[in-house]
Structure 1
Amino acid sequence: MLPSQQPVRLIDENGSAAVGRTFKTSYALPTEQTLLRGYGQLVMGRRVNDQASALVRQGRMAVYPSSHGQEACQVAAAMCLADRDWLFPTYRDTVAVMARGVDPVQVMELLRGSWHGGYDPYEHNVATQSTPLATQLLHAVGVAHAAKLRGEDTVVVALCGDGASSEGDFHEALNFAAVFHVPVIFFVQNNEYAISVPLIHQSVAPSLAHKAIGYGMPGERVDGNDLAALLAVLDDAVRRARSGGGPSLIEAHTYRMQSHTNADDASRYRSDDEVRAWEPRDPLLRLRTYLSAAGLLTAAEEERIGAEAERVAAVLRDGLNVEVTVDPQDLFRFVYSEPTPQLLEQSDMLREELSREGATS
């Protein structure tokens, strides 16, 4: 059950096939076409991160937690799942949600400050993005348990960060999943920081993946900036879960290149030298080098991928520049299917107050 001594890596930082590594499982490189498709998603994800950050500066979004540098984790989490499977994302996992097919503008509704999550979870089997740390893990376990009771062929991937592994919900989710042997994969994106708290002050375990053994499930470590390794490790865990092998814990070693959100100043708790050390490990550049050397990424293909990323960015710009008409009655309309007397009273009070303001303006 113990993870590999070193994180699984199939393509090194220079964009070459990694050699000389021994892991607990024999992992094969994904097909070239799979990697090419994944590269397109990486380019799209990087462009989305840049565009969303710009929209925040323009006042069109309230906040944006960038996943710049973590896009490989996001893309792999979406690509390893079949349509019938479920993804449970966090607030930082917008790229993963889009990679599952959710409309880009709907994905950003939560982050622009709308009162709702923005999209129908049942349309693409993607739960709403979770802001409270680790609560989505319990929801993911519940869906996986329900699927098992119904005899459905469903696998659930639950995303979280290293900070979430310190939460009580993390323990409860892993313990329940292991005891009831449900088909869920806990995918921890270890980006080294829980906002400003470095991992060294969060856990003294050899790795977060080592925590899996305490629950009786296998753990694995993977280079979170190597899309090929991520796909191989996650595909293996999905096959295991789908065949009745139960839950897994996977720790992806990556790095948050930008601040926690636009409201954060990362320079207050980490050095520029630390950030620069991660720049050569960029998941997008690494895969681009590998695919170009293999003759798969032609100039025409690169142009096509770039054009598609720009199209998504334009969709975001156009969609988020549309002024939203706000109906104050939505505060009460969607709380219960049958409003309580208290809600009806509050609704009437607000309607009357707004009516008086309108009459005097």
Structure 2
Amino acid sequence: MYGWGRTVGVGKGWVVRGLEQVELTGAAGLRVVEVGVPSVGVGEVLVRVGVAGVNFADVMQARGTYEGGPRVPYLAGFEAVGEVVAVGDGVDAGWVGERVVGTGAGAFAEFVVMRADEVVRVPDGWRDEEALGLVLNWATALVSLWGLGRVKARDFVLVHAAAGGVGQAAVRIAKYYGATVIGTASVGKHEVVRRLGADHVIHYRDADFTQQVLRLTGGRGVDVVLESVGGEMFRRSVELARRVTGKVIVIGAAGGEAVVSNLELNFKHPVQVIGQHLPTTMREAPALFAETMGELRRLIEVGVYPPGTPTVYDLADGPKVLAELEAGVTVGKLALRP
């Protein structure tokens, strides 16, 4: 029934390691547990995890602040790279043995189930850890800046959290298309962002942050903002977008909810605010996602997107990694190896 046919060293009833969130207290609520190999259903693939990505959405889920997030107890994590070892009904058995990157609930484990129509093959010659972030980080940044933001030469682009996984991809992408990039990051991460190609780097907590951005743009504001911080920074992003044509692409809300009224958008800040959540984009706008992945493959070919270099930890170190990510002391992509 489940297409186990040809498998690669896995059997039903096996007990494997995973990280379970037992209470919504952040990293303190994570525990290493033994779990069974999940069953693969219709339209799904079972992946033996090589590495799993650690993202700020994991922090939000662990705190109970992620919209529609899972209820405890749950297997944590949702991004992974690995080898397909089984397929469900309706999926070509030729996927078995392929190395893929994608998303699926419970990725902080030795095996995870993913939707077959949402996985992407690992580029030829890349190791698992090098492909981590291809979907969640690079595709998020590209569909936001290229697909929705229509970034072009001579645009000013403001990238928040520019030292993080999505932020680093966004800086490279915006520079490739000819934009002037302003990145935000804490002071200790400024050099990292500059090395990526950012033209200017600002500490997002500077009292004169808004004035600095306006000065850099000659007072006109930025053409595109990649906004993932939320809270007060969302309001500042709306204020900093160029009137009428400026776009604020919202991809996260790490700092909490913020409200901008219809009256403000009509009279005070007439800008374009666009929400972008990658799983929703994949399912509701498949043509846009397919175009984005085609462009992403081209960026790999021309060297704009090089193999990734995440910091990889053992699965048991998951609580430590999540705590450091929440504290804002990490740089770049983070990964766990089961």
> Shared fold by TM > 0.5?
no
TM-score norm. by structure 1 comes to 0.28
TM-score norm. by structure 2 comes to 0.29
Name which one, 1 or 2, has greater alpha-carbon Rg: 1
Name the one with the larger helix percent: 1
